[in-house]
Structure 1
Amino acid sequence: FDIALWDLKARRANLPLAKLLGAHRDSVRCYNTSGGFLHETVEQIKDNATRTLESGVGAIKIKVGLPDRSEDLRRVAAVREHLGDGVPLMVDANQQWDRPTALRVGRALEEFDLVWIEEPLDAYDVEGHAELARSLTTAVATGEMLTSVAEHYELIRAGAVDVLQPDAPRVGGITQFLKLATLADHHHLQLAPHFAMEIHVHLAAAYPREPWVEHFDWLHPLFNERLETRDGRMHLSDRPGLGITLADQTRAWTVETATTDAPR
């Protein structure tokens, strides 16, 4: 509801949501996750990465966290060699490591010049993330699983995160996300919102520091419009609000509707 109300407010103002919020830029850096899952071979990941970069996305993220840590390192090394030194590369462990493993593997990964290591530990292990952030030169990213501003603030307060990754729908909508973004900026943190790029491209564009947005095409069937990616960046449209409308397929999937009277 919160997101829908912000969309409505921007539409009534005839402005893209980012412009209503006070955009700092018309495009944001974007990276792709959906081509680097653990079940895929290294060759598949390399092919996926090539196609992703050709589509205009600017960076690649792959999954790590296999039982065999040496296999993780081998895969990262192969992808880094394939991409070359000029393409930003991130890894995501999805909370698979304990503290000793995260430190050991994190140090081994430093030679690959990663943008960040994502979710190396349990999402709620604030102390562990803080210790890891102090010990590694690679940035530590986390936050996507948290569900409130207060939970994110615990990470921020403890110095447990370098790249904050809030999910606007998960933390309670755009209103709560904006509170969190203010805290993150005050603490000089990088921002890389999780999933829902159709929403987050607007919120990232309104963040004072240069952010990242995660590119997923999984929600394409829901909307008539597509976000434009070129030259490594995701570009804002000039359409009002979030700039998206529901596709006919989405309406076909609708199982229940409700109508309310206008407020008096």
Structure 2
Amino acid sequence: MNVFDYKDKIRFTKAVFYNFRPIPLPRPFQDGTGGFGQNVPEQGYLELSDDTGMTAHYTVTRAFVREMLPKLLNGESRSYNDWRETLYWQARNAGFQSGQAVNVGVVDLLMLDILSQRAGKALHRFLGAEKDWAAAYKGGGSILLSDAELVEEMCRYVSEGFMTVKFKVGSDKGRNMERDLRRIEKVREAVGEKIGIAVDANQRWSVEDAVKFARLAEPYRLVWFEEPIHSADFNGIRRMKELGVKQKLAAGESMRISYMYEIYLEKGLDIVQPSLGRMTRIDDLLKIRDMARAAGKGFQSGGRTAYNATFGCLYGAEEPIEFHAPISEPVQALMRNLPEFRDGRCFVRSDIPGIPIRMDLEKLEKLGYLESRTIYLPPRA
């Protein structure tokens, strides 16, 4: 059953796509698998308008423009539910973990932006949130940082009011556990006992190596151990628990649909972590939240923080969103109407209908990151 069940009709009338040149990170970022690299992930920015004069705003990929805009700008008027179901099942043969299916989730989010604008409400209020903040922790800690730089970065996060910090492990493609353990020890000494420390291996290790690392890391009292093994190795999670791993295990950012999280919970995962920008259906975030609550397990959510904060308002005080600093901070420097962070919470603007976030196009153009602007219209009858 869908959590969101809106009958409102939507006819898309215009799209404007702002294509970005590569936007460099202030410094290269790397996890235990070598991920991310030199540039922010954002490829472009879309303004999608409907026949009532509302316009949704969101960062999208070039593949979204190629594959989805022809399906949306076809002159048809459909209900929110009909658009979502039609596009979703068209992605069936590509698989519901595919990029095509994730693009349907982007359409879902764009439509929610439009519907909440029509209602004159900020999206989190439109969806029923009773508060304007999300609990948050801050993560970063590139493998490329020296020990001293890592300690400095984690201490900065604590000085900003975050009570839990996270950094990467899996040095030298997972072969240098000694370095990882040394870095954990140094961060623990620097931040003290009251601050939670989590580590993220980004699926780097085998079950055997992950269990070895978990045992060696026990003295440092990690609050969770994230993605220790391949994201689809559900039975590997079960084996880690059977072998007595004491840390809470967390995973989920690689999964796209709620059914996968049912398996995670059945296998004993302690914390499920869906990511806003990777879901095929946006209401799956709430389904997964409720699954975790029913199982007595933890729930967290990732994704671009400025957008994800809207949905974090629907989560509890112990269900934080991630502020992934090395990627999110450079992107937020190019945005307007940002949430405000105070004392480990992310406060969302409630005075702007829909999703408040806008890319600062003037700044992007001034910095030379805006390559082109293209207008798309429905074909004439």
Q: Note if 1:39 corresponds to 2:144.
A: yes
Q: Give the deviation of 1:206 after TM superposition.
A: 0.8
Give the RMSD, CA atoms, in angstroms.
Answer: 2.2
Normalization by structure 1: what TM-score? 0.89
Q: Deviations over 1:122-169 (max 9, x none)?
A: 01000111222452222111000112222222212222x211111122
Greater radius of gyration (CA): 2
Q: Deviations over 1:210-246 (max 9, x none)?
A: 2111113242144212221111221122133222123
Verify the 8 A CA contact 2:214 2:246 in the aligned structure 1. no
Verify the 8 A CA contact 2:309 2:339 in the aligned structure 1. no
Q: For residue 166 of structure 2, what is the aligned residue in structure 1?
A: 61
Q: For residue 51 of structure 1, what is the aligned residue in structure 2?
A: 156
Please state whether the residue corresponding to 2:250 is helix, strand or coil: strand
Q: For residue 127 of structure 1, what is the aligned residue in structure 2?
A: 235
Q: Give the deviation of 1:172 after TM superposition.
A: 1.3
Q: What runs of 5+ residues in structure 2 fail to find an aligned partner?
A: 1-106
CA distance in 1, matches of 2:131, 2:360: 28
Q: 1:11 to 1:117 in 2, by over 3 A?
A: same
Equivalent residue letter for 1:107: R
Q: 1:188 to 1:84 in 2, by over 3 A?
A: same
CA distance in 2, matches of 1:229, 1:57: 9
Q: 1:260 to 1:181 in 2, by over 3 A?
A: farther
Q: For residue 142 of structure 1, what is the aligned residue in structure 2?
A: 251
Q: Note if 1:219 corresponds to 2:337.
A: no
Q: Give the deviation of 1:190 after TM superposition.
A: 1.5
Q: Give the deviation of 1:192 after TM superposition.
A: 1.4
Q: Give the deviation of 1:254 after TM superposition.
A: 4.7
Q: Give the deviation of 1:91 after TM superposition.
A: 0.3
Q: Note if 1:156 corresponds to 2:265.
A: yes
CA distance in 1, matches of 2:147, 2:138: 16
Q: For residue 35 of structure 2, what is the aligned residue in structure 1?
A: none
Q: 1:107 to 1:61 in 2, by over 3 A?
A: same
CA distance in 2, matches of 1:253, 1:224: 20
Q: Note if 1:80 corresponds to 2:188.
A: yes
Q: Deviations over 1:162-207 (max 9, x none)?
A: 1111112212142332333332332222221122112322222212
Number of positions where the alignment pairs a residue of Structure 1 with one of Structure 2:
259
Verify the 8 A CA contact 1:167 1:193 in the aligned structure 2. yes
Normalization by structure 2: what TM-score? 0.63
Q: For residue 280 of structure 2, what is the aligned residue in structure 1?
A: 172
CA distance in 2, matches of 1:255, 1:201: 28
Q: For residue 192 of structure 1, what is the aligned residue in structure 2?
A: 300
- Structure 1 residue ranges (4+ consecutive) displaced by more than 6 angstroms after TM superposition: none
CA distance in 2, matches of 1:93, 1:244: 31
Structure 1 vs Structure 2: percent identity of aligned residues? 25
Q: For residue 14 of structure 1, what is the aligned residue in structure 2?
A: 120
Bigger fraction of residues in strand: 2
Please state whether the residue corresponding to 2:166 is helix, strand or coil: strand
Verify the 8 A CA contact 1:53 1:232 in the aligned structure 2. no
Q: What runs of 5+ residues in structure 1 fail to find an aligned partner?
A: none
Equivalent residue letter for 2:263: E
